[in-house]
Structure 1
Amino acid sequence: MNIPRIILDGIVMCVIFNAVVALFFMVLPQAYSVMFPKSIKEAAAPYVKKREIKLMYCILLILYFLMFLYMAVSAHFAGITGFRNLFWTGYIEMMFVNVGDFVLLDVLGRMYVKDKNMIKGAENHSGWEWKEWKKSCVMWTICLPD
């Protein structure tokens, strides 16, 4: 296994994933409200259009497919063979994507969205505060119990 290449591929995938999701969030902010905590989701529900949600899911499905394709092509050109090596390569690369998603979209993105009031119906909602956000995020309940 080529560890530096795996790390770089993970970082590239993280950047691509977060950039695409953030870009389409700027275009369709109401559709992404279905992925927020329950209280925000309920507050924004009257403004969410089914067509936008379907479009968002299509975009995400295409993104997931392209990321899987990138992983497969990269593993092939890196000469990674065998189940164990492929498993750990995919695991490490997706770990970068998941950590980047958490930090960039869930933590920093929440602060940006809260300040800009981009989600109609959820402006100044208590669900944007850290205390409420922490309740719906599994990571916080594991790392920082009250």
Structure 2
Amino acid sequence: MYVMRAILDGIAIAAIFSGSVAAVVLIDPRYFFDSYPKAIQKAAHEQMTKKEKKINHILTIIICGICFIYSTASILHTGIAGFWNLFLMGYIQWSILNLGDFFLLDCLLFQGKYKDKIVIPGTEGHPDYEFGNWMKHLAIMEHFVVTPFLIIPFVAAIQALITGLIGR
């Protein structure tokens, strides 16, 4: 297994994912409105429209799809075989993407100097924009419970199966 390769690929897909999401959120934060804490979503004057939901789904599929294709192609290029080796490579890559999302988006973007640009109109001054509340009501559970124990193993297993079948 190529641990350093998995780490570098993880950094690459984290940059792709976080950079893409940050660009979209800075253009119009409502496109990722459903990724905000529930209290902020409820406090907004207008809920997510059908058009915004459609754009959100399309962007999510495109961004995650690009990361998945890059990750899978990179693993295929290594020539690694065996489900568990493939699974671990994917798990490392997607874990780094998850950490990149946490540090680059949740910590830097949403709590940094661009904080005012990502506020959903009508929710200005909401307490869940504060760092501690953001972490407590969204980021900690998402990035350190749900994603590493449910989402990443699922994605890594699917990726390992696909990579194993293509690599034969």
Amino acid at match of 1:5: R
Amino acid at match of 2:13: M
1:45 CA displacement: 4.8
Q: Which residue of 1 aligns with 2:32?
A: 32
Q: Which residue of 1 aligns with 2:74?
A: 74
Separation in 2, partners of 1:54, 1:104: 25
Q: After the TM superposition, which of the residue ranges 41-50 and 27-36 deviates more from structure 2?
A: 41-50
The answer for unaligned runs of 5 or more in structure 1 is none
Q: Is contact 1:6–1:93 with CA below 8 Å preserved after alignment?
A: yes
CA deviations 1:53-96 (Å, max 9, x no partner) are: 21121111122122111111111111111101100000000010
Q: Which residue of 2 aligns with 1:130?
A: 131
Q: Is contact 2:10–2:93 with CA below 8 Å preserved after alignment?
A: yes
Aligned pair count reads: 141
Q: Which residue of 2 aligns with 1:62?
A: 62
The answer for unaligned runs of 5 or more in structure 2 is 145-168
Q: Is contact 2:33–2:120 with CA below 8 Å preserved after alignment?
A: yes
**What is the identity percentage for the equivalent residue pairs of Structure 1 and Structure 2?**
37
Separation in 2, partners of 1:116, 1:138: 19
Q: Is contact 1:47–1:121 with CA below 8 Å preserved after alignment?
A: no
Separation in 1, partners of 2:121, 2:136: 22
What CA RMSD, in Å, does the superposition of the two structures yield over aligned residues? Answer: 2.0
Q: Is contact 1:7–1:93 with CA below 8 Å preserved after alignment?
A: yes
Q: Is contact 2:25–2:118 with CA below 8 Å preserved after alignment?
A: no
Q: Which residue of 2 aligns with 1:89?
A: 89
Quickly say closer, same or farther: Cα 1:21–1:117, change in 2 above 3 A. closer
Q: Normalising by the residue count of structure 2, what TM-score does the alignment of the two structures yield?
A: 0.75
Q: After the TM superposition, which of the residue ranges 42-51 and 17-26 deviates more from structure 2?
A: 42-51
